[in-house]
Structure 1
Amino acid sequence: MMRWSKLGFCATWLAVLTFVMPVAAGAQEVNLYTTREPGLIQPLLDSFTKATGVKVSSIFVRDGLAERVAAEGAKSPADVLMTVDFGNLLDLTDKGLTQPIQSVALEKAVPSNLRGGKGEWFALSLRARVVYASKTLALKSVAYEDLADPRWKGKICIRSGQHPYNTALIAAYIAHHGEAAAETWLRAVKDNLARPATGGDREVARDIMGAICDIGVGNSYYVGLMRGGGGGPQQVKWGQAIDVVLPTFRQGGTHVNLSGASVAKYAPHRAEAVRLLEYLASDEAQKLYAEANFEYPVKAGAPIHPIIAALGP
């Protein structure tokens, strides 16, 4: 198993784009507000409905999930709130938008350090922030701190530092080294950039293949999405053009972040909401997370996709 950094969780909150209106209150249905891309979670929701008969109506909320639920108040139709990044889950809880639940199934499936102390939130999958590297480097190991090394001047690609994936990494760096050291590190990394910090993680792999940069930072599951063909034949080439190194902080630990969910405070279908969370932590769903999304499961013993397992322990 990967050596998870206990301090490597944090992020900013996300915002609003509606695709489907929620179903009305009633039995055997559950309303999901999610910041996760619909294509990533729909196979899981379909599997849940097939297994339980409970219909899931989902709303994709790109930004401002907490703000939206707060504005809806007690009349909110939301039953389950699903998001990425530990900070977002804490934000929902701190703003009083979730409710604690007790579930033996969830407590058995989700380790105590990956859920709220009172059951206010539960992690459902994990992803590591890894280094993509040109195969010409034959890079075998690297620390996050090394990204500030002058040897990489003009050779690093990365997405925006304001993106939640990177704000979480920055928060982890602060936890390890303090704010002053983190600021120095960030300035040095910026000086090492081969191009402006833009695009997504997959574009980092693309630009390494194009010799624009030698190394970059990206999430582990994008490696699976590229190499597995989910993004088309061109992205397969991007994924195959890079080596992937699991970095650590010099004090130890690879930075990971998570996706997770909570039961909304005013959930009109509370029982079904709990049932959905229990299913998402089940053996079947944890296997689907690995197969469809190339994420690490939270449940001990659940399989890891071979593409991700090959990245290392």
Structure 2
Amino acid sequence: MTLRPVLTIAAALAGTTAMADVNVYTTRQPELIQPVADAFTEETGIAVNLAFVEDGIVERLEAEGKRSPADLVMTVDIANLSQIVDAGVTQPVESEVLNESVPANLRGENGDWFGVTTRARIVYASQERVADGEITTYEDLASDKWEGRICTRSGLHNYNLALVSAIIAHHGEDYAKEWAQGVKDNLARKPEGNDRAQVKAIWAGECDISLGNTYYMGKMLQDEEQTEWANAVRITFPTFENGGTHVNVSGVALTQSAPNKEEAVQFMEFLVSPQAQEVYAEANFEYPVLDSAEASELVQGWGEFEADETDLPTLADHRAAALRIMEEVNFDG
């Protein structure tokens, strides 16, 4: 049998097809998912059509309603996954394969969504100005020993709100507000740019440490200009005083319309297979959710850590409080 090529972008989703495909709306660049989509097609003969939807994915699904061609939504961060589920544009999935492969703290309580890979929210530290082992806990980032030494992106970004949500989960809202104020007082500059921009600032001597996601190290090392920034820092894995290292997730959910539900669930199950987990993690410099799958050699070289066991739905529940706290301390001001 001749396999049809994996299609990309919204043109592939126009109208219906003669045989069932899997149609995916993704907030991630399609090239990040393409390798695992190709592997699925090679194994099953089912084409995967990827449409990049950078913003307004919920609004698009709501507008399309039952006519939506999308079977699956793939996105990053528990806040985005929760927003999509809460909007009522997805449906739960009952699958022994998914439940056995994805740890309970990395999937929706009712099978509303499933984690595919994880990433740690860590500290990038200057190779020259920060001693190895000097950074131990997230709580310590509010210590005045870091005054004028921290860079970060907006405190209102989902990545940082998830971290504040985890602080709330461990210590309560009052402590979280004091912590947020302490970190703000330690900033070397007003929050700006993305995670990679903070590493560039360390390289330039503007600050000594920054908050960031692990996979950005891999992305910087792929970029000729940014390799110098990456080599100026080391990854450190802080923990919570009563827990592990904060992690977030990239995940997948089945849409309410799902015209090709059976094939879509098949693709979801493939995403957590050992083969797909290693392919996907390799392409994105992230960590597999499947215990038996290994991270890429580069990612393993960053060191080992114990992931915090706070379940992600709990972090989603604290997001509103985290946002209020960051606004009350005027973190970006």
What is the TM-score when the length of structure 1 is the normalising length?
0.88
- The DSSP-based 3-state class of the residue aligned with 2:219 is helix
For these two proteins, the number of residue pairs brought into alignment is 293
| Per-residue deviation, 1:19 | 4.7
Asked if 1:89 corresponds to 2:81, the answer is yes
- The DSSP-based 3-state class of the residue aligned with 1:128 is strand
| Per-residue deviation, 1:290 | 2.1
The aligned residue for residue 69 of structure 1 is 61
How is 1:295-310 mapped onto 2 (pairs within 5 angstroms)?
295-310=286-301
Asked if 1:200 corresponds to 2:220, the answer is no
- The DSSP-based 3-state class of the residue aligned with 1:159 is coil
Q: Is the 8 A contact 1:25 1:268 kept in 2?
A: no
- The DSSP-based 3-state class of the residue aligned with 1:40 is helix
Q: Is the 8 A contact 1:279 1:285 kept in 2?
A: yes
Q: Is the 8 A contact 2:79 2:158 kept in 1?
A: no
Which of 221, 234, 248 is equivalent to 1:257? 248
- Mean alpha-carbon deviation: is it higher for 55-64 or for 157-166? 55-64
Asked if 1:131 corresponds to 2:128, the answer is no
| Per-residue deviation, 1:244 | 1.1
| Per-residue deviation, 1:45 | 1.9
The aligned residue for residue 231 of structure 2 is 240
Q: Please list every run of at least 4 consecutive aligned residues from structure 1 whose deviation after the TM superposition is greater than 3 angstroms.
A: none
After superposition, give the CA deviation of every residue in 1:78-110 in whole Å (9 maximum; x if it has no partner): 100111112222222223211122223222321
Q: Is the 8 A contact 1:126 1:295 kept in 2?
A: yes
Q: Work out the CA distance in 2 between the residues paired with 1:236 and 1:208.
A: 13
Q: Work out the CA distance in 2 between the residues paired with 1:150 and 1:168.
A: 23
The aligned residue for residue 79 of structure 1 is 71
Structure 2, unmatched stretches of 5+, are 1-7, 305-333
Asked if 1:28 corresponds to 2:20, the answer is yes
Q: Work out the CA distance in 2 between the residues paired with 1:244 and 1:309.
A: 12
Residue identity over aligned pairs, in percent, reads: 49
| Per-residue deviation, 1:33 | 0.8
Q: Work out the CA distance in 1 between the residues paired with 2:289 and 2:113.
A: 13
- The DSSP-based 3-state class of the residue aligned with 2:248 is strand
Which of 170, 189, 197 is equivalent to 2:183? 189
- The DSSP-based 3-state class of the residue aligned with 1:233 is coil
The aligned residue for residue 169 of structure 1 is 163
The aligned residue for residue 261 of structure 2 is 270
The aligned residue for residue 317 of structure 2 is none
Two-structure CA RMSD over aligned residues (Å)? 1.7
- Mean alpha-carbon deviation: is it higher for 85-94 or for 276-285? 85-94
Q: Work out the CA distance in 2 between the residues paired with 1:267 and 1:274.
A: 10
Q: Work out the CA distance in 2 between the residues paired with 1:107 and 1:196.
A: 43
- The DSSP-based 3-state class of the residue aligned with 1:260 is strand
Q: Work out the CA distance in 1 between the residues paired with 2:57 and 2:132.
A: 39
